């Protein structure tokens, strides 16, 4: 096999290879022979299936596997012989390739190379702390939020739906006397208006509603509605309350038990510590981002454009999926995605630059991801999702996610290293 590498850009190259026809055909013939030895077909003795039968049933698959073998061999030779640091490559659609009998198998693969980075000073980066002390109002709000989260619904009765209550209702949209949308058993609340309805009017219509009550609220059809000709039109949102609920909140004593507090003062202390920990975590992340931004500003290097484009497409694909899950119609999704292309491209470029810079710092500082790091992260993921660690590990294995997990863990180590070695000042 002849393998050559052509540099096509600062971080791009092309691997060209050619397999002699005789070599390719021998690989295919040997694979067909081995397949025939292990093939059991009715009417033939085991291992004595005629080559033409094997060819008819498995010829295409075996030729594809042979091509994949030589593609892998070419890539390995290119990397080893040229010391390439490959970070990505063009997908080879082997199913579209054909090798004629006796002809050479020749092809090329576009690859992305890791950029060469000359590290400048990255320790002692100056960053100002923005960590604020925990305020009494924050503690009070946190306790009330916890109280609301632990509240349980109970029938509202004759008092009707309170401001923080919830209702199970039928919702119907009517435009020009025609019903354009109808949904049963929708969970609604006076504090969360239905799209297209004015918040104040929606709350006023629902407050005090009892089981079986009906009300109407003016409606403007949202721009995300699937029927384009109705978007922006005025109509009516008809609501039929099936069940109205008030939320019963736990008392102070129950709240203290939930957090393991001895009394009200102890609960204040515990909540304050939790808020403080969350604030510190947010501040650490903010400082790490600020330090990395500062370092990106002092390190200029070329990027593999193919990798940047792949990341951009991935971001746009995720955005399109989110719009689809929210119910946006296809034409709206397409327009919205196009408006985000430049933003996605810029974010991808920054993300790729940050990735390579952190990898360079990790190598300089000999920061490594160990098996214990991976194992502990799997345990943490399992605990957060109330799953078995083995199930999480199986999921990562099945979906080839371990490499991505290792990259994420390495990034965390580098970010933490940079923060711990930064010059953090506190404003006077």
Check if the beta carbon of residue 71 is closer than 8 Å to that of residue 35: no
pLDDT at 259: 93
Taking alpha carbons only, the member of 269, 248, 241, 288 closest to residue 412 is 288
Closest CA to 63 of 98, 111, 11, 20: 98
Section 259-288 average pLDDT = 96
Q: Which residue has the tokens 């596997």?
A: 65
Given a cut of 70, whether residue 275 has pLDDT beyond it is yes
Other beta carbons within 10 Å of 302: 15
User: Model confidence at 239, in pLDDT bands (50, 70, 90)?
Assistant: very high
Question: Tokens at residue 148, please?
Answer: 């609301």
56 phi, psi to nearest 5 deg: -65, -40
Greater confidence, 52 or 77?
77
| 30: pLDDT strictly greater than 90 | no
CATH 3.40.50.150 is held by the domain 2-113? no
pLDDT at 176 (0 to 100): 93
Angstrom distance (rounded) from CA 70 to CA 28: 11
Q: Is the pLDDT of residue 95 over 80?
A: no
Comparing 2-113 with 152-248, is the CATH topology the same? no
pLDDT for the residue 54 = 77
Range 152-248 classified under CATH 1.10.167.10: no
Residue pair 159/247 in contact (Cβ under 8 Å)? The answer is no
Under DSSP, is residue 239 helix (H, G, I), strand (E, B) or coil? strand
Q: Which helix (H) or strand (E) holds 346?
A: helix 341-365
Kindly list the domain boundaries of the chain, sorted by start residue. 2-113, 152-248, 262-425
Task: Give residue-wise pLDDT tens across range 350-400.
Answer: 999 999 999 999 999 999 999 999 999 999 999 999 999 999 999 999 998
Mean pLDDT estimate for the chain: 92
Rg (CA), the chain: 31
Q: Two tokens at 46?
A: 């085991």
Helix (H) or strand (E) holding 423: strand 423-425
Q: What are the tokens at 428? A: 């006077």
Q: Which CATH architecture has domain 262-425?
A: Orthogonal Bundle (1.10)
What predicted TM-score, i.e. pTM, was given to this entire model? Answer: 0.76
The pLDDT of residue 45 is above 70: no
Q: Can you state the percent helix, strand and coil of the chain, rounding each to 5?
A: 50, 20, 30
Quick one: which of 309, 313, 337 has its CA closest to 324? 337
Confidence label for 88 from pLDDT (cuts 50, 70 and 90): confident
């Amino acid at each position: 096999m002849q393998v050559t590498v052509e540099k096509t850009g600062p971080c791009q190259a092309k691997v060209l290879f050619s397999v002699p026809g005789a070599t390719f055909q021998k690989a295919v013939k040997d694979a067909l022979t081995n397949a025939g030895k292990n093939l059991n077909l009715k009417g033939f003795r085991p291992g004595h299936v005629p080559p033409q039968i094997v060819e008819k049933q498995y010829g295409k698959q075996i030729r594809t596997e042979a091509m994949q073998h030589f593609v892998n061999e070419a890539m390995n030779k290119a990397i080893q012989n040229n010391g390439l640091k490959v970070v990505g490559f063009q997908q080879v659609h082997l199913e579209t390739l054909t090798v004629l009998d006796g002809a050479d198998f020749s092809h090329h693969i576009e690859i992305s190379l890791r950029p060469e980075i000359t590290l400048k000073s990255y320790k002692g980066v100056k960053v100002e702390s923005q960590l604020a002390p925990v305020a009494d109002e924050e503690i009070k709000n946190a306790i009330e939020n916890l109280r609301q989260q632990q509240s349980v619904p109970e029938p509202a009765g004759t008092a009707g739906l309170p401001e923080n209550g919830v209702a199970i209702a039928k919702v119907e949209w009517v435009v020009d006397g025609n019903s354009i949308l109808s949904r049963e058993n929708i969970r609604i609340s006076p504090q969360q208006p239905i799209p297209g309805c004015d918040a104040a009017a929606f709350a006023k219509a629902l407050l005090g509603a009892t089981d079986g009550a009906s009300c109407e609220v003016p409606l403007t059809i949202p721009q995300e509605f699937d029927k384009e000709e109705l978007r922006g039109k005025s109509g009516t949102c008809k609501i039929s309350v099936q069940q109205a609920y008030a939320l019963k909140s736990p008392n102070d004593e129950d709240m203290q038990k939930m957090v393991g507090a001895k009394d009200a003062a102890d609960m204040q202390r515990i909540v304050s510590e939790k808020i403080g920990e969350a604030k510190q975590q947010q501040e650490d992340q903010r400082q790490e981002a600020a330090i990395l931004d500062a370092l990106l500003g002092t390190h200029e290097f070329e990027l593999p454009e193919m990798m940047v484009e792949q990341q951009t497409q991935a971001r746009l694909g995720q955005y399109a999926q989110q719009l689809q899950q929210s119910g946006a119609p296809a034409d709206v999704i397409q327009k919205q995605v196009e408006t985000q292309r430049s933003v996605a491209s810029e974010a991808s470029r920054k993300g790729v630059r940050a990735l390579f810079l952190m990898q360079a710092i990790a190598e300089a500082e000999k920061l490594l991801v160990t098996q214990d790091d991976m194992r502990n992260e799997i345990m943490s993921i399992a605990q957060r999702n109330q799953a078995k660690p083995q199930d999480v590990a199986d999921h990562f294995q099945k979906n080839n996610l371990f490499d991505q997990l290792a990259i994420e863990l390495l990034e965390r180590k580098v970010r933490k290293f940079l923060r711990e070695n930064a010059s953090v000042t506190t404003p006077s």
